[in-house]
Amino acid sequence: MNNLEKAKELLNSSGFTCVCCNNEEIITSRKRGVAPLLEWLDERKCLKEYSVADKVVGNGAAFLYILLGVKELHANVISRIALETLQQHNILVNYNTLTEAICNRDNTGFCPIEIAVSKVTSPDKALIAIRNELKKLQNS
């Protein structure tokens, strides 16, 4: 079983939201949204040789995965723009469901992180926009 298959299996069988595999090294999270990705960036983790499986990948997460340096990614659900962003940065991607947009947790509109990065084209600027949006959400 290769790293991506192992990550997908763990994602779908263990209740994780995100699984990163590099041979015997496995990093997992049960946190929602972009929280685990921001945590790994803050910890200065380099996921350069890692294969990742994630439940939902919007463009905000795509930018963060680029910053983390992942090699390949499987998403159970991915937005079209996230797929394009990852492919533009030469990250191999496969998915179960391709959608036009990621909805918020209440399904009443678009994900606020997606809105925050909608006009952003660089991973570094996306990181700033994501952090600013999360601060706004925490203060409301």
Residues forming beta bridges with residue 18, ordered by sequence position = 29, 54
How far is C-alpha 139 from the geometric centre of its chain's CA atoms? 24
CA distance 71 to 121: 20
pLDDT score for 42: 96
Alpha helices (H) in the chain, listed in sequence order: 3-13, 35-42, 59-68, 80-88, 112-116, 123-139
**pTM, full prediction:** 0.96
Q: How many CB atoms lie within 10 A of CB 69?
A: 14
Tokens 């990742």 appear where? 52
10-residue averages of pLDDT along the chain (140 residues): 95 95 96 95 94 98 97 97 97 97 90 95 96 91
Q: In terms of Cα–Cα distance, which of 71, 66, 109 is closest to 85?
A: 66
